[in-house]
Structure 1
Amino acid sequence: MPEASKQSAAVANIPLIRAPGLRVPKSVELLPNIHPLPDDITAYFAYPFSLEPHILTVESSRQSTLAAHSTRRVAYLHARDEDKLRRMRDALRRIAPGFEPHSGPLNLVQQLEAMDSAHTDPSDKSPSRPM
């Protein structure tokens, strides 16, 4: 049995664990000089966390550009709406001359009198001839 004793001698130095949960971890050694942070940690900051002037100028120019684009867009939309209303009024005037949708009911007598007074020449003082 010399072979069996050789095998058991090799296995005798290997630690055998039946369940990994039974192992006890090594204890953690704490250093004796742990340095806690002080109450004021501003001395530890190497960089001042503030906005630089070049960032502020870029941001202000960006804001002004956005405001200009917004006003230009509002003006364009307003002009487009006005043009749409003007085209609609022109189309209605082609169908019914003198028609204003917001002026209320038509008063044709006043409009005809205004047209007659515009066509008569005030310098012509000749009396009209009776028929």
Structure 2
Amino acid sequence: MMILRTASLAAAVLALAACQQEAAKAPAAAPPEPVAPVVATATGADQAVACMAYLSLKQIALEAQTPPGDVTAVRAALGAWEGLALQSMTSDEVNQYYASSVAVEDDASPAKVDVTAAWCLANAPAAS
């Protein structure tokens, strides 16, 4: 009986060691995608326009899904960020800045768009 217990214990230890070796070989999970620096480090109108760009990219992605995703919250946040930008810039300035921001950020990875748009949604200014 003692020999069986010892053998069972030895087999369990060997199985555990094999699992640990396999876990060590598995690639580590990629670190989470950070919020785009243009949003995370900016303030005021700069941050507002950057969020407008990322939210627009998110809206385009949602509308391209089959079936299309709900863009209600994205549109509301876009309006709130635009309102913030308009507090310190003219409408023409916001439009030009926004267009250039979308052009620059258009090649952002889907993960970058998702995490940055989520940050912009969560931190949208209150509608005035």
Q: TM-score, normalised by structure 1?
A: 0.28
**Structure of higher CA gyration radius:** 1
Structure with higher helix content: 2
Which of the pair has the greater relative contact order for Cα pairs under 8 Å at 6+ separation?
2
Q: TM-score, normalised by structure 2?
A: 0.29
